[in-house]
C-alpha cells in the first residue's frame, strides 16, 4: 500500500512538472526579450518548481501596484513643477552632425527632458576629491540639500557626509535623503537613525519585507546617485557614499560629474519625483526650482530610466548612439552583459569602420556576473572590438563617448539589470571640450589596462570556457 502511495505521489509530481513547463512556455515569452525568455525557459525545463517560485517573486519587472498608481499620478501632481522647469530652462537643440541628431531626439522622447544650454561641467575622477567637493558644497548650502544614493554607509566617508548634513541643518538648511533599502542594507538602520537624530528627513527606498503589504521586489532597486544643492549644483555618476575599499581586497575607481546651470533643474525633477513616490509629499516650492544662471556653454540633458519608465531604457539610447557613431565609441562599465541588439550594433559599427573599445574591470566583485561577462569576449574580439581590462582597482565608472561630440555619464551598467530592472539616471553632454576631457580619462584607462587578444583568449582552459558558458545561459536573469 505504501509503495502504491509513493508511486501515486511520484506520478502527481511528475505530471505537475510538465504542467508547469507547458504553462510557462505560454506565459514567459509575453512582453519579454528573447534572451530573457530563453533563460527562464531553460531554468523551467530543468527545475520546474523552483523556477515557478522564483518567477512568482521576480519574474516580471513591475513595481508593486501602490507604486505604479503613484507614478501614474505624477503627470497631474507635478504639472506645476513641469511647467516651471519648462519656463525656466532655455531649450536648445544641440548642434550635432546628421548621424547623431536622431539619438538626441530619442533622448528627449524617452526621458521627457529637453536638452538645455548654459551649463558648466567638471569631471571628478578622484574618489576622495568627489566626496570632498560634495561636502564643500553642502557646507555652503543656504536652502536645501537633496541626496539620492544606492549605497549610503556609516563608515568614514558616510560619517563625513552625515556631519556635513548635520551642520547644514543647524544653519537652517532643509536636508532630504533617499537611500535604497537593499543596496544600503548593511548600514541602513544606523545611517537612518543618525540622520534622523540630526534633523535630516530620510526615507528608505523600496523596502523589502516578507510581511508588509507594500513590500517591493528585491531585484527592482533604485540605483541612482544624485545630489542637488540649492537647485543650482548637481552631482551624478557612479560613486556611492561609502569608502572606496568597503569590499575587502577591492578598491573602487569612479567618475562623477559636478554640474551647474539649467540642467540641474532636471536632476531636481528626478529627485522630487522619487521623493513623492516614497512619501506622497509634493515638493514644489519656488526655492527648489530657482531661475537658473547660465554658467557655461555645455548643452546637456538628463535621462531617467527604469521600471517606472518602461519605454525609457538607457539600453535603447546606447544602441542608438553606437548605430550613429562614425569614428569612435568607447564604453566603460564594470558589468557588461549585452543583449543581442547591442552586440549587433557594436559588430556593425566595426564593419562600418568605427573604432570600438570596451573598458572593463579585471578585478571582479560579483563572480557569476563576471563569468557570464567573460563568455562574450571571444565573440566581441572576433568582431574586431577591442577589450581593455583595467588592472588593480575595480573600475566602477559608467560612461560612454561617441566620436568627439557626445558623452554619457551616469549610474547605469551595460546589462539587463540596468536596462530593465533598476532605476538609473544618465547625463548626456553635447560638448567637444567635455568629450575631449573624457577621452583623456579613457586614454588613462587604456594605459592602465591589459588589452585582450583573440588568440590568447581562445587559449584559456576548457574548464574556464565551460564554466563561463554555463553562466552565460543564465545571464538574461542576472
| DSSP string of 436-474, one letter each residue | HHHHHHHHHHHHTEEEP-HHHHHTS-HHHHHHHHHHHHT
Q: Which residue has the cell 511528475?
A: 14
Is residue 190 domain-shared with residue 291, that is, in the same domain?
yes
User: CA 93 from chain center: how many Å?
Assistant: 26
Last residue of a domain, one of 41, 58, 75: 58
Is residue 53 domain-shared with residue 76, that is, in the same domain?
no
Last residue of a domain, one of 272, 301, 330: 301
pLDDT class of 104 with cuts at 50, 70, 90: confident
3-class DSSP assignment, residue 233: strand
Is residue 220 domain-shared with residue 187, that is, in the same domain?
yes
| pLDDT digits 0-9 by tens, 283-335 | 888 899 898 888 999 999 999 998 777 666 799 999 999 998 999 999 999 99
Is residue 373 domain-shared with residue 244, that is, in the same domain?
no
- Let me know how long the chain is: 478
Q: What is the mean pLDDT of residues 221-242?
A: 97
Residue 306 within any structural domain of the chain = no
Residue 113 within any structural domain of the chain = yes
Last residue of a domain, one of 58, 76, 91: 58
112 by Cβ neighbours in 10 Å (0-12 / 13-18 / 19+) ranks as: middle
Is residue 117 domain-shared with residue 97, that is, in the same domain?
yes
List the CATH number of the domain containing 443: 3.30.870.10
Residue 309 within any structural domain of the chain = no
Residue 269 within any structural domain of the chain = yes
For residue 102 the three cell numbers come to 536622431
Is residue 72 domain-shared with residue 52, that is, in the same domain?
no
Contacts of 391 (CB under 8 A, 6+ apart): 362, 363, 448, 449, 450
Residue 293 within any structural domain of the chain = yes
Averaged confidence pLDDT in the chain:
88
Q: Are 187 and 156 in contact (CB under 8 A)?
A: no
For residue 178, is pLDDT > 60?
A: yes
The answer to which of 61-70, 141-150, 380-389, 393-402 has the lowest mean pLDDT is 61-70
Q: What is the pLDDT of residue 245?
A: 96
Share of the chain above pLDDT 90, in %: 60
Number of domains in the chain: 3
Residue 21, domain extent: 2-58
- The residues facing 102 across adjacent strands are none
Residue 467 within any structural domain of the chain = yes
Is residue 251 domain-shared with residue 341, that is, in the same domain?
no
Is residue 291 domain-shared with residue 400, that is, in the same domain?
no
Is residue 70 domain-shared with residue 52, that is, in the same domain?
no
Is residue 207 domain-shared with residue 257, that is, in the same domain?
yes
| pLDDT digits 0-9 by tens, 328-354 | 999 999 999 998 899 999 999 999 999
pLDDT class of 149 with cuts at 50, 70, 90: very high
| pLDDT digits 0-9 by tens, 107-130 | 878 877 888 888 999 999 999 999
Residue 399 within any structural domain of the chain = yes
| pLDDT digits 0-9 by tens, 73-99 | 777 666 666 666 666 555 556 676 776
Is residue 118 domain-shared with residue 36, that is, in the same domain?
no
Q: Give the CA distances from residue 222 to residues 352, 420, 440, 466, in Å, rounded to whole numbers and listed in that order.
A: 37, 12, 30, 34
Residue 105 within any structural domain of the chain = yes
Is residue 53 domain-shared with residue 96, that is, in the same domain?
no
DSSP state of 286: G
Q: What is the pLDDT of residue 213?
A: 55
Q: Are 395 and 358 in contact (CB under 8 A)?
A: no
Q: What is the pLDDT of residue 83?
A: 67
Q: What is the mean pLDDT of residues 12-37?
A: 77
Q: What is the pLDDT of residue 99?
A: 65
Amino acid at each position: 500500500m505504501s509503495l502504491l502511495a509513493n508511486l501515486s505521489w511520484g506520478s502527481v509530481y511528475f505530471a505537475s512538472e510538465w504542467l508547469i513547463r507547458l504553462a510557462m512556455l505560454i506565459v514567459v515569452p509575453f512582453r519579454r526579450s528573447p534572451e530573457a525568455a530563453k533563460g527562464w525557459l531553460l531554468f523551467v525545463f530543468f527545475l520546474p518548481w523552483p523556477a515557478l517560485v522564483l518567477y512568482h517573486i521576480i519574474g516580471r519587472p513591475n513595481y508593486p501596484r501602490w507604486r505604479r498608481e503613484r507614478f501614474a499620478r505624477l503627470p497631474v501632481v507635478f504639472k506645476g513643477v513641469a511647467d516651471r522647469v519648462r519656463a525656466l530652462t532655455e531649450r536648445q537643440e544641440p548642434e550635432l552632425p546628421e548621424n547623431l541628431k536622431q539619438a538626441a531626439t530619442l533622448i528627449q522622447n524617452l526621458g521627457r527632458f529637453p536638452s538645455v544650454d548654459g551649463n558648466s561641467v567638471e569631471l571628478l575622477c578622484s574618489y576622495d576629491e568627489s566626496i570632498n567637493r560634495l561636502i564643500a558644497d553642502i557646507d555652503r548650502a543656504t536652502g536645501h540639500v537633496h541626496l539620492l544614493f544606492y549605497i549610503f554607509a556609516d563608515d568614514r566617508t558616510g560619517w563625513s557626509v552625515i556631519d556635513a548634513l548635520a551642520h547644514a541643518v543647524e544653519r537652517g538648511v532643509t536636508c532630504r535623503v533617499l537611500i535604497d533599502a537593499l543596496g544600503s542594507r548593511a548600514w541602513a538602520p544606523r545611517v537612518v537613525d543618525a540622520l534622523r537624530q540630526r534633523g535630516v528627513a530620510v526615507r528608505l527606498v523600496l523596502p523589502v519585507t516578507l510581511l508588509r503589504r507594500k513590500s517591493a521586489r528585491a531585484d527592482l532597486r533604485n540605483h541612482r546617485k544624485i545630489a542637488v544643492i540649492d537647485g543650482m549644483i548637481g552631482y551624478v555618476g557612479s560613486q556611492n557614499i561609502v569608502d572606496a575599499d568597503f569590499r575587502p581586497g577591492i578598491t573602487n575607481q569612479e567618475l562623477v560629474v559636478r554640474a551647474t546651470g539649467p540642467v540641474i533643474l532636471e536632476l531636481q525633477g528626478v529627485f522630487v519625483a522619487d521623493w513623492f513616490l516614497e512619501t506622497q509629499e509634493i515638493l514644489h516650492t519656488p526655492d527648489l526650482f530657482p531661475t537658473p544662471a547660465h554658467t557655461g556653454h555645455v548643452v546637456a540633458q538628463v535621462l531617467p530610466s527604469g521600471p517606472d519608465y518602461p519605454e525609457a531604457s538607457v539600453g535603447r539610447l546606447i544602441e542608438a548612439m553606437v548605430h550613429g557613431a562614425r569614428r569612435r565609441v568607447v564604453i566603460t562599465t564594470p558589468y557588461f552583459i549585452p543583449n543581442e541588439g547591442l552586440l549587433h550594433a557594436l559588430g556593425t559599427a566595426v564593419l562600418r569602420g568605427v573604432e570600438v573599445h570596451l573598458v572593463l574591470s579585471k578585478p571582479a566583485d560579483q563572480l557569476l556576473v563576471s563569468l557570464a561577462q567573460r563568455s562574450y569576449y571571444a565573440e566581441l574580439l572576433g568582431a574586431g572590438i577591442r577589450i581593455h581590462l583595467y588592472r588593480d582597482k575595480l573600475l566602477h565608472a559608467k560612461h560612454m563617448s561617441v566620436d568627439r561630440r557626445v558623452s554619457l555619464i551616469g549610474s547605469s551598467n551595460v546589462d539587463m539589470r540596468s536596462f530593465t530592472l533598476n532605476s538609473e539616471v544618465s547625463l548626456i553632454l553635447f560638448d567637444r571640450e567635455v568629450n575631449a576631457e573624457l577621452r583623456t580619462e579613457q586614454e588613462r584607462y587604456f594605459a592602465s589596462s591589459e588589452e585582450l587578444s583573440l588568440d590568447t583568449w581562445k587559449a584559456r582552459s576548457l574548464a574556464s570556457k565551460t564554466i563561463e558558458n554555463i553562466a552565460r545561459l543564465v545571464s538574461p536573469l542576472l
